[in-house]
Amino acid sequence: ALSKIMRRMENDPVGRRILKERPLVNETVADRAFALLESERNNLQSAMVETHSNISNKDNTLIDEPKSFGAAYAKFLKSHGYHPNERDPIRFITDPDLAYVMTRYRQSHDYWHALTGLPPTVLGELALKWLELFQTGMPLAALSATGGAFGVSGLSAIEKEILWEVYFPWAARVGGRRMKEGSLMCVYYEEEFETGLEELRDRLGIEAAPVVDLL
């Protein structure tokens, strides 16, 4: 599967550049995203102060809503206490090119959370694994997606129903039909931080994942 992903990347101009330059998601990348999120919030607060004497709860919600992809990524990391340096290095893959592809795949996971709006809950992770499976065909994604769907993950009956009736159709529609096969791995995400979140979604053919209230 890694070889197939690498071939797709080699056949894509952005993918080829990623393979050549081998960007890594590290503290410097995260700091850029955090700075962008802070800048967006400060700019919106300043604009609201100029036109309102009091900032309402609705305005606070708008301030907290990221506009750019980088800010959305930063909000995801900050909201869940994640840091890119927490991921373990790749082992047991001797080919350096394939090892990098696997590294890029794993490090892009949080970018995909930001793009889709899926939370890092068991249900959210399984929904994202289905999307990854349709996009990459990775055995790891297949194992996680099918194992969770058939009860290995400990989902409740309601959560299983939501997975099959809401998130599986969403992943099939987005990852299997709307998006070009393998395109998730051919995005230079670090260069898209200033791009509007909705603009990037539209360009890639991604629709935000459905929001389901389990209550």
Mean pLDDT confidence for 1-14: 94
Mean pLDDT confidence for 65-70: 94
Over 80: is that where the pLDDT of 87 sits?
no
Over 70: is that where the pLDDT of 56 sits?
no
Percent of the chain with pLDDT over 70: 84
Q: What are the tens digits of pLDDT across the range 157-198?
A: 898 899 999 999 999 999 988 888 889 999 999 999 999 999
Q: Give the integer Cα–Cα distance in Å for 144 and 127.
A: 10
Alpha-carbon distance values, 155 to 9, 116, 150, 152, 189 (Å) = 35, 21, 9, 8, 32
Asked if residue 149 lies in contact with residue 164, where contact means CB atoms within 8 angstroms, the answer is: yes
* pTM recorded for the entire structure: 0.86
Buried b (16+ CB within 10 A) or exposed e, 73-109: bbbbbeeeeeebeeeeebeeeeeeebbbbbbbbebbe
User: Which two three-digit tokens encode residue 214?
Assistant: 């389990």
Q: Strand, coil or helix: what is 155?
A: coil
Look at 53-62, 74-83, 156-165, 175-184 and tell me which has the smallest mean pLDDT. 53-62
Q: What are the tens digits of pLDDT across the range 109-137?
A: 999 999 999 999 989 999 999 999 889 88
pLDDT tier for residue 5 given thresholds of 50, 70 and 90: very high
Nearest one of 150, 130, 153, 151 to 140, comparing CA atoms: 130
Q: Give the integer Cα–Cα distance in Å for 47 and 159.
A: 41
Asked if residue 205 lies in contact with residue 115, where contact means CB atoms within 8 angstroms, the answer is: no
Over 60: is that where the pLDDT of 94 sits?
yes
